Amino acid sequence: MAAFGYSSKSRRNQTAERLSFKAVIEEVKEDLRTAIKTAQTQIYEELQATDILFPKSNLRSILYNLLSNAIKYRDPNLPAEVTIPSYPETEMIILEVEDNGLGLNQEQQAQLFTMFKRLHTQGEGTGIGLYTIKRIIENRGGAG
């Protein structure tokens, strides 16, 4: 599971706009349509927080990377399932992406956001996706 918190009290002055989680998730699902279909992925949305003030390209990058990782690193013995909850917490909005994939042991979890670090050999990748997500969130004043 990947979880990120974000406060609208951002330290950066990038252009943020009010976005619907549902709309951006649908755009990303369309981009990943072939992979979703091939892996027979079921995606469930549990959106208690429905909107966020955030740069659209950044939110798309976050969701694209997390969803594509969930599909790429799925357990080949199970139908792929991804749940995307969002909810308000204090002055933040929490967005999570949970899946029933291969998972990570404690040592891998400690290295999760290291640049160029691949934690599974299944599928292709460069090891920069989760690092990039962490940088986006931190640069906007959030926590990964």
Q: Give the residue among 80, 56, 51 at the shortest CA–CA distance from 67.
A: 80
Q: How far apart are CA 102 and CA 120, in angstroms?
A: 9
CATH of span 2-139? 3.30.565.10
| pLDDT band per the 50, 70, 90 thresholds, residue 136 | confident
> pLDDT tens digit string along 113-124?
655 454 545 556
Q: How far apart are CA 16 and CA 126, in angstroms?
A: 28
> pLDDT tens digit string along 42-98?
999 999 999 999 999 999 999 998 999 899 888 888 889 999 999 998 888 999 999
| Total residues found in the chain within this entry | 144
pTM over 0.85: no
Domain locations along the chain: 2-139
